[in-house]
Amino acid sequence: MADPAGREDRKQEQIDQRRVSPQGTELTTDQGVRVDDTDNSLSAGERGPSLMEDFHLREKITHFDHERIPERVVHARGAGAYGHFTLHESLAEYTTAEFLTDTSLTTPVFVRFSTVAGSRGSADTVRDVRGFATKFYTRQGNFDLVGNNMPVFFIQDGIKFPDFVHAVKPEPPNEIPQASSAHDTLWDFVQLQPETMHMMMWLMSDRALPRSFAMMQGFGVHTFRLVNAQGRGTFVKFHWKPRLGTHSLAWDETQKIAGKDPDFNRRDLWDRIEAGDFPEYEFGVQLVPEEDEHRFDFDLLDPTKIIPEEEVPVRPVGTLVLDRNPGNFFAETEQVAFHLGNVVPGIDFSNDPLLQARLFSYLDTQLIRLGGPNFPQIPVNRPVAPVRNHHRDGYHQMDVQQGQASYHKNSLSGGCPAVGGEGSFTHYPERVDGDKIRKRSESFADHYSQATLFWNSMADWEKEHIVGAFRFELGKCDHVHIREGIVEHLDHVDHDLAVRVAEGIGVEPPKTPVNANHGRTSPALSQANTPADSVQGRKIAILVADGADPAAVEMVGEALTEAGALCDVLAAKDGFVQAAGGGQVKVTRAMPTVASVLYDAVVVPGGEESVRALAQDGDAVHFVAEAFVHCKAVGALDAGIGLLERAGITGVRFADGDIVSDHGVVTGEGPSADFPDRLIEAVAAHRHWTRDKAHVPA
C-alpha cells in the first residue's frame, strides 16, 4: 500500500525521539542526579588537593577524554542534510526495489558531502574529489549509494586502495602537505600506475573545485545491477545532476577562500537550507542490458571508465531535494555510516574488483570508528524498516530484546524471527568459472583513450585550467624524474597537452606524439554545456560609501533578491552610510570582514561622492579588480564605472548612455530598468572565462 509521507514522518519521529534540549532543565549527571556546582572540584579545603570521591568531576572529565571518535581515514571532512526522494518514472521493468518502482512513494534520505584527502580540520575548497553519499530509508531497508562528484576512480582493483591513499595523504616524514595532491608521493604513484590517468584528468579539471554542493554532480562510480521480478539483470550506472547546473570556483579563488572562510561549501549548504533555497538534484540511470555487456570498446566493470552519454543516455527518473539541516553535527553527520553493502531487493552488485573490495572495507571501517557492531542502531543510521535479528550483544546495544532464544532455528521463541519469504533479498544467480589467480583482465588495459576523450571534450578555457593545474601540482614535486614520468603519460593522452605541461615545469617536451589523438568528444563532460540560467542562492556584493545613490542600491538589491540571489551591502564600516540627498543606506557587512572571493558578483551603484571614497579605499579597488580577474559578473552604474576604471579594468566596453554587457561586465548610465535584467543574466552565466584579464593587478 502506498505511503507517500508516512515513512518520511517516521524517520523524522525516529530522530526527534532522540533529540534533547537544555531549555528549562537542571544540570544532572549521566545517572540523572542533579548537580549544584559544575565550576569547582571537590577538594580538601579551599587550597587543598582534589578528592577522588568527586564523582561529578570524574564523570565529566572521563566523558571529555573519550568524546572524540576516530575520524574517517578518507572523507573525514563532511557536511550533511536530510531530504526526500521522489520517483517520476517507474523502473519496474528493471528492478523490484520499491522506491524505484512506486511513483506514489516519498523516500526520506540523508546525504553527506565530503572532501576525500584532508583531515576534519582542513579547508573545504582544496583541489580534491568530493563525496556524494546518499542513504535512502526505504520500506525494504536502507540503500546506500556511496558516490563521488567524479564518475571514475584512480585505481581498478581495491587491493591498490591503501597504496593510493597512503600516496595522496601527507608524507610520512613531516605530515605535509595537508589536503593536497601537489606533492611527490602522489605523483610518484601516478607515474607508476597509468590506470590513474583518466581520473587525474578529472582531478586537474574544474570538477575538483565545486562552487557549491548544490552545483555539483554525483555519480555511483561503479556499475551496479538491477534485478526485476523475473530475475532478469540489467547493468546500471547512477547519476545525480544538480538543478542549478554544474559550476566551479577559480583555482586562485579557492586558495584565498581557504583562508577567508575554510567552511565555504559547508556554510553554503547550511545557509541555503535555512533560507528555504533547497538544493535539488535529478536522479538518472544509464541502463545496459546484460547481453550488451561486451559491446563497448572498454570494460563495463572497469571503474576508471565512463559510459559516454552519447552511447547510453542518462534517463532521468526521480528528484532529490535536501530540505532539513541536522540538529547536531556529531550525532548525525559525523556518526552517519555508509556502506556499499547496504542494498535492497532489486539492486545487486557487479564483479567490478574495486566495488568488491569496498564491500569489505566500509563495514570494517565503521566497526572501528563507531565502536562496535551496533552502530546501525544510532538514530541517523536506523532504517525505517523494522529490524529483527539475533544480534543481542556487543558495544552500545540500544534495544532490550526479549525472548529465551537468540539463535536460528529455534522452537522456544516460536521460531521467530523467521526467514523471510517473497520480497526478501536474493543474490543474483551468476555462473562464475575460473582458476584462482592474481591477474588483471586484459580488457582493463586501455588507460589513455578515455583520458583523451575527456581532454577533447573540454572548452578552451577548461583546457587552460587543466594545463595550469598540472603545472602547479607537478611544480610542487622536487624529483625531476617524477615530472618527466607524468609528461610521458600525458603524451599518450594528447601531445599538445604534454608539451604545454612540460614547458611549464622545466622538463624537455616530447618531440613527437606517441599516438594520434582519436578525436572523439563527449559534450556532456564539459561544464561549458551545463545549465546557466539561474541566480538562485548566488551571493552579490554591493559596494557603497557616504554619498551612495539609494535608489540604485534599492533597485539592484530588490531585483536580484526577487530573482533568488542574496545581496550584501558592503562599506568600510558596519552600520549605515549617508545617502546622496539625505537619508541612510544600511550596511550588511564591513568590507574588512569579507572578501570578493566569498561572492559571485560585485555591483558599484552610482553616487559621485561614494565612488570617490571607494576609489581611495584600497580594499574596495582590490575587491572589484579581484572579482574581475576571477571572471565574475561585475556591474556599475553612472559614477560607479569610474571605480572599474580605477581598478585597472580594460579590454571591455563600458556604457556611454545605454546599458552595455561585455564579457560579464554590465554598465549603465542614468536610471534604467534594463540594468538589473542584464546583470541577472551575467550572474546566471556563472563565470565569463574567456574574459581578457591578465593585465589586471589582482
Distances in whole angstroms, Cα of residue 577 to Cα of each of 232, 557, 583: 70, 16, 9
Q: Of 253, 154, 240, 258, whose CA–CA distance to 202 is shortest? A: 154
Q: Of 590, 585, 600, whose CA–CA distance to 555 is shortest? A: 585
Q: Which of 40, 56, 66, 75 is catalytic?
A: 75
Degrees to nearest 5, angle at CA 310 with 304 and 315: 90
Q: 88 with 318: CB under 8 angstroms?
A: yes
Note the helical H segments in 577-665. Answer: 608-615, 618-629, 641-646
Consecutive H or E run containing 539: strand 539-543
What is the rounded end-to-end Cα distance, in angstroms, of the chain? 62
**E strands present in 43-77:** none
Q: How many whole angstroms from its chain centre is CA 230?
A: 37
Following CA atoms 29, 32, 37, 42 in sequence, which dihedral angle do they give, to the nearest 10 degrees? -60
63 given a catalytic annotation: no
Q: Which contacts qualify for 59-63: CB closer than 8 Å, 24 or more apart?
A: 59/29, 59/30, 63/30
Consecutive H or E run containing 80: strand 78-87
HSE-up of residue 52 (Cα within 13 Å, Cβ side): 0
CA gyration radius, the chain: 28
Q: Which of 142, 148, 265, 456 is catalytic?
A: 148
Cα 474 to Cα 503: distance, rounded to the nearest angstrom: 12
Distances in whole angstroms, Cα of residue 615 to Cα of each of 6, 300, 543, 624, 642: 59, 59, 11, 10, 8
492 given a catalytic annotation: no
**Grid cell listed for 534:** 539561474
Q: 698 with 692: CB under 8 angstroms?
A: no
Cα 169 to Cα 183: distance, rounded to the nearest angstrom: 9
Q: 634 with 649: CB under 8 angstroms?
A: yes
**Grid cell listed for 404:** 529465551
**Grid cell listed for 437:** 589467480
Beta partners for residue 635, in sequence order: 603, 666
Q: Of 245, 263, 247, whose CA–CA distance to 206 is shortest? A: 247
**Grid cell listed for 602:** 560585485
Residues whose CB falls within 8 Å of the CB of residue 116, separated by 6 or more in sequence, listed in order: 74, 75, 128, 129, 130, 131, 148, 168
HSE-up of residue 193 (Cα within 13 Å, Cβ side): 22
> If DSSP codes are grouped into helix, strand and coil, which group holds residue 491?
helix
For 331-344, give the DSSP string: IIIIT----TT---
Note the helical H segments in 394-513. Answer: 449-457, 460-475, 480-493, 495-505
Q: Which residues are catalytic?
A: 75, 148
